[in-house]
C-alpha cells in the first residue's frame, strides 16, 4: 500500500498560537516518513481542499517550519466556511473525495473550534458514507475556550494573558488620572457566547493589586441599574473603576449590546461595539469621564505576550493529532487533561469528534461571583495556570521576527470547482 499524504488546514478565527499547532503537525509528520508522505496545507482552510489549492509544505525549510512556533495568525490562511450535511450538498463531498484521491491524501487534520470540528466530523464520515477511507483528526483551537471535554483550548491562554496584563496596566493608568480626569475605563473583549476571556480580565486584580473591576459576562443578562450602582460604588470607594465587557453581552431583550448587523458564513452575528455602548451608559447616568477600547484582533494576534503554557499545549495538540492518526485513530481530537491546578499538571488525552462538534462550553455558575460582576476563587484556580510563563519570539530591528510561508501550491489535476 502506498504511503498516503496528509491534508492540514486552519479554520475559523485564528490565534497567536495556531501556527504552533501547525508546527507540531508538520514536524511530527516529517519524523514519520514511513507513515505519512507530504503534508499539504489547505490554502484558506477547507476551501483549499475544495478548490484544489494545496500548499506543498515540503518546500518550506525545517527552519521556517520551526519558526511557525513563534509566529501568530494562520500561516496558510483560514476560513469561515461550514460544510453542509451530505444530503444538502453532496457535490462538495464528492469534490473533496475527488481532490483527496487525485493527490493520494489519506490523512485529514483540521485545526479549529466547534464549527470546524463539525467539519472535521463530517469529513470523518466520508469513509462510511462514500467509500473513501480517511483518517481524520481534529486539532483544537479557539480563543473563546468553548470546546467541551478539553481542559482548555489552545489560543485561549494567550488571550487571557493579554487581557489580564492589559487590564492591570490600563487600571494603573486610570488610577493616576482619576482625581482630575478619567474615572472609568472600559475594555471590550472577544468571546461570542462564552465569558472565558472576560473572566481572564479578573486576573488583573489580586492580593497585591487592589484594582476595582467590573466584568460583564455573556452568561449574565445585562442589568443596567445594577451595573450603574456597582460602578458608582467602586468609583466612590477607589476613585475609579475598570470594566471588562464581553462582546457577547446581551440586554434584557436578548439582543447583543454590540450587534453590528450582518452574520458570517457560520451564521454568527458580527459583533463589536459593546464598549462604547457601556461607556455611554455610564457617562449619561453618572457623568463620569471615560475611555474605552476594543481589544479586537490585537488580543488574539498578540504573540509577543503569549502564555508559554498555551504555546506548549498548542504544539502538543498538533503533535498528538499526528500520533493519533498514525496509530490508526480516526474521528477523534486530542485534548488537554488537567490533573492538578497547582502545580499545574496536564497530559494529552483524546475525545470523539461526534462529542465535540457544535458543543459550546460556557462558564459554569460557580466561576461567576454572586453579584454577577466578578470571578470566584474557583475560577481563578482554573485560569491562573493557563497564563503562566512567557515565550517571547525573537526580535529583529525592535520588532518580532515572524516567518511568512512561501505558500507554493502543487499543480492542479482537476477541473475548477466553484463554492
Ligand atoms: O473564533 C472566535 C472569535 O475570535 C470570536 O471571539 C470573535 O467573535 C470572532 O472570532 C471574530 O471572527 P472574525 O475574525 O471572522 O470576524
CATH of the domain at 27: 3.40.50.450
In the predicted structure, residue 84 carries a pLDDT above the cut 90:
no
Res 265: pLDDT: 63
Q: What is the 3-state secondary structure (H, E, C) of 72-84?
A: CCCCCCCCCCCCC
In the predicted structure, residue 261 carries a pLDDT above the cut 60:
no
Res 270: pLDDT: 60
Is the domain of 309 the same as that of 293? no
Res 371: pLDDT: 97
Name 138's bridge partners: 110
Stretch 321-336: mean pLDDT, rounded?
A: 97
Is the domain of 162 the same as that of 297? yes
Res 282: pLDDT: 97
- Do 295 and 271 contact (CB within 8 A), yes or no? no
Is the domain of 137 the same as that of 163? no
Is the domain of 296 the same as that of 396? no
Residue 416 within any structural domain of the chain: no
In the predicted structure, residue 111 carries a pLDDT above the cut 90:
yes
pLDDT category of residue 268 using cuts at 50, 70 and 90: low
Stretch 324-334: mean pLDDT, rounded?
A: 97
**Positions of E strands within 63-161:** 105-112, 135-140
Is the domain of 328 the same as that of 282? no
Task: State yes or no: is 144 an active-site residue.
Answer: yes
- Do 95 and 41 contact (CB within 8 A), yes or no? no
Mean pLDDT score of the chain: 95
Stretch 317-338: mean pLDDT, rounded?
A: 97
Count the Cβ atoms, other than its own, within 10 Å of residue 126.
20
Q: Is the CB of 264 under 6 A from ligand 1?
A: yes
Domain hosting residue 49, numbered range: 4-141+304-357+390-400
Stretch 254-260: mean pLDDT, rounded?
A: 76
In the predicted structure, residue 363 carries a pLDDT above the cut 80:
yes
Rounded to 10°, the helix 308-326/156-177 angle is 170
Rounded to whole angstroms, the Cα distance separating 130 from 86 reads 10
Select the highest-mean-pLDDT range: 157-166, 246-255, 259-268. 157-166
- Do 160 and 197 contact (CB within 8 A), yes or no? yes
pLDDT category of residue 82 using cuts at 50, 70 and 90: confident
Count the Cβ atoms, other than its own, within 10 Å of residue 185.
24
Res 259: pLDDT: 67
Res 262: pLDDT: 58
Res 125: pLDDT: 85
Cis peptide before 14 (omega within 30 of 0): no
In the chain the first and final C-alpha atoms are separated, in Å, by: 33
Ligand 1 mean position to 300 CA, how many Å? 9
Residue 148 within any structural domain of the chain: no
Stretch 239-255: mean pLDDT, rounded?
A: 93
In the predicted structure, residue 407 carries a pLDDT above the cut 60:
yes
Which ligand 1 atom is nearest residue 300's CA?
Answer: 4
Alpha-helical regions (H) of 184-307: 196-201, 224-238, 274-286, 296-301
Which ligand 1 atom is nearest residue 12's CA?
Answer: 1
**Positions of E strands within 43-132:** 54-56, 105-112
Stretch 19-46: mean pLDDT, rounded?
A: 98
Stretch 97-108: mean pLDDT, rounded?
A: 95
Q: What is the DSSP string of 280-304?
A: HHHHHHH---EEEEE-HHHHHH-GG
Torsion of CA 158, 159, 165, 168, to 10 degrees: -150
Report CA Rg, the chain. 22
Is the domain of 129 the same as that of 205? no
Q: Is the CB of 192 under 6 A from ligand 1?
A: yes
Tens of pLDDT, residues 119-131: 899 888 877 778 8
Q: Is the CB of 13 under 6 A from ligand 1?
A: yes
Is the domain of 227 the same as that of 351? no
Element (H, E) at 368: none
Res 131: pLDDT: 81
CATH code: domain of residue 240 = 3.40.50.460
Is the domain of 266 the same as that of 344? no
Residue 336 within any structural domain of the chain: yes
Res 137: pLDDT: 97
DSSP letter at 180 equals T
Rounded to whole angstroms, the Cα distance separating 163 from 415 reads 47
Given ligand 1 and candidates 192, 245, 264, which is best to mutate, with the most ligand atoms within 8 Å of its CB? Answer: 192
Is the domain of 213 the same as that of 127? no
Res 119: pLDDT: 87
Is the domain of 220 the same as that of 315? no
Stretch 358-377: mean pLDDT, rounded?
A: 96
How many structural domains are present in the chain?
Answer: 2
- Do 252 and 205 contact (CB within 8 A), yes or no? no
- Do 108 and 7 contact (CB within 8 A), yes or no? yes
In the predicted structure, residue 340 carries a pLDDT above the cut 90:
yes
Rounded to whole angstroms, the Cα distance separating 118 from 122 reads 6
Q: Quick one: which of 55, 48, 65 has its CA closest to 408?
A: 55
Res 266: pLDDT: 63
Residues of the chain above pLDDT 90, percent: 86
Rounded to whole angstroms, the Cα distance separating 179 from 198 reads 27
Q: Which one of 302, 320, 336 terminates a domain?
A: 302
In the predicted structure, residue 267 carries a pLDDT above the cut 70:
no
Residue 29 within any structural domain of the chain: yes
Tens of pLDDT, residues 184-243: 999 999 998 999 999 999 999 999 999 999 999 999 999 999 999 999 999 999 999 999
Is the domain of 259 the same as that of 349? no
Residue 417 within any structural domain of the chain: no
pLDDT category of residue 271 using cuts at 50, 70 and 90: low
Rounded to whole angstroms, the Cα distance separating 24 from 187 reads 33
Nearest-CA residue for ligand 1 atom 13 is: 13
Rounded to whole angstroms, the Cα distance separating 379 from 151 reads 13
From the list 115, 118, 144, 312, the catalytic residue is 144
Choice between 348 and 93, residue whose per-residue pLDDT is larger: 348
Locate 205 and state its grid cell.
Answer: 486584580
Q: What is the DSSP string of 292-359?
A: EEE-HHHHHH-GGG-BHHHHHHHHHHHHHHHHHHHTT--SEEEEEEEEETTTTEEEEEEEEHHHHTT-
Tens of pLDDT, residues 380-389: 999 999 999 9
Is the domain of 101 the same as that of 134? yes
Residue 376 within any structural domain of the chain: no
Say whether 195 sits in a helix, a strand or coil.
coil
pLDDT category of residue 166 using cuts at 50, 70 and 90: very high
Locate 49 and state its grid cell.
Answer: 481542499
Res 1: pLDDT: 56
Which ligand 1 atom is nearest residue 270's CA?
Answer: 16
CA 352 to chain centroid: 20
For the ranges 244-253, 306-315, 360-369, 406-415, which has the lowest average pLDDT? 244-253
In the predicted structure, residue 260 carries a pLDDT above the cut 80:
no
Q: Is the CB of 279 under 6 A from ligand 1?
A: no
What's the CA angle centered on 352, arms 346 and 356, to 5 degrees? 85
Amino acid at each position: 500500500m502506498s504511503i498516503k499524504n496528509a491534508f492540514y488546514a486552519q479554520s475559523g478565527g485564528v490565534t497567536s498560537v495556531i501556527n504552533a499547532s501547525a508546527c507540531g503537525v508538520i514536524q511530527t509528520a516529517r519524523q514519520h516518513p514511513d507513515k505519512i508522505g507530504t503534508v499539504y496545507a489547505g490554502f484558506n482552510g477547507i476551501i483549499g481542499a475544495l478548490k484544489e489549492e494545496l500548499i506543498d509544505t515540503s518546500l518550506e525549510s525545517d527552519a521556517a517550519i520551526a519558526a511557525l512556533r513563534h509566529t501568530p495568525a494562520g500561516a496558510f490562511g483560514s476560513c469561515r466556511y461550514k460544510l453542509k450535511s451530505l444530503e444538502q450538498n453532496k457535490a462538495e463531498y464528492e469534490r473533496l473525495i475527488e481532490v483527496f484521491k487525485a493527490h493520494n491524501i489519506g490523512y485529514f487534520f483540521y485545526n479549529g473550534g466547534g464549527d470546524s470540528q463539525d467539519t472535521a466530523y463530517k469529513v470523518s464520515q466520508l469513509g462510511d458514507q462514500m467509500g473513501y477511507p480517511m483518517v481524520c483528526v481534529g486539532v483544537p483551537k479557539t480563543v473563546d475556550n468553548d470546546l467541551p471535554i478539553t481542559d482548555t483550548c489552545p489560543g485561549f491562554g494567550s488571550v487571557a494573558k493579554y487581557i489580564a496584563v492589559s487590564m492591570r496596566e490600563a487600571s494603573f493608568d486610570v488610577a493616576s488620572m482619576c482625581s482630575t480626569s478619567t474615572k472609568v475605563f472600559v475594555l471590550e473583549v472577544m468571546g461570542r457566547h462564552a465569558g472565558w476571556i472576560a473572566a481572564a480580565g479578573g486576573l488583573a486584580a489580586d492580593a497585591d493589586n487592589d484594582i476595582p473591576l467590573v466584568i460583564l459576562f455573556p452568561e449574565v443578562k445585562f442589568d443596567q441599574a445594577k451595573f450603574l450602582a456597582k460602578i458608582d460604588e467602586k468609583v466612590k470607594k477607589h476613585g475609579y473603576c475598570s470594566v471588562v465587557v464581553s462582546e457577547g453581552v446581551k440586554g434584557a431583550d436578548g439582543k447583543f449590546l454590540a450587534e453590528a448587523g450582518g452574520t458570517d458564513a457560520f451564521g454568527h452575528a458580527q459583533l463589536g461595539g459593546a464598549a462604547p455602548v457601556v461607556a455611554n451608559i455610564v457617562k449619561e447616568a453618572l457623568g463620569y469621564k471615560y475611555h474605552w477600547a476594543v481589544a479586537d484582533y490585537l488580543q488574539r494576534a498578540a504573540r509577543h505576550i503569549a502564555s508559554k503554557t498555551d504555546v506548549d499545549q498548542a504544539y502538543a495538540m498538533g503533535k498528538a493529532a499526528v500520533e493519533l492518526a498514525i496509530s490508526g485513530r480516526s474521528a477523534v481530537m486530542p485534548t488537554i487533561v488537567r490533573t492538578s491546578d497547582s502545580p499545574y499538571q496536564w497530559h494529552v488525552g483524546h475525545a470523539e469528534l461526534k462529542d465535540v462538534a457544535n458543543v459550546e462550553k460556557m462558564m459554569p455558575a460557580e466561576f461567576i461571583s454572586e453579584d454577577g460582576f466578578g470571578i470566584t476563587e474557583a475560577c481563578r484556580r482554573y485560569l491562573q495556570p493557563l497564563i503562566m510563563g512567557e515565550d517571547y519570539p525573537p526580535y529583529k530591528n525592535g520588532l518580532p521576527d515572524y516567518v511568512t510561508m512561501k505558500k507554493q501550491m502543487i499543480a492542479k489535476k482537476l477541473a475548477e470547482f466553484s463554492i
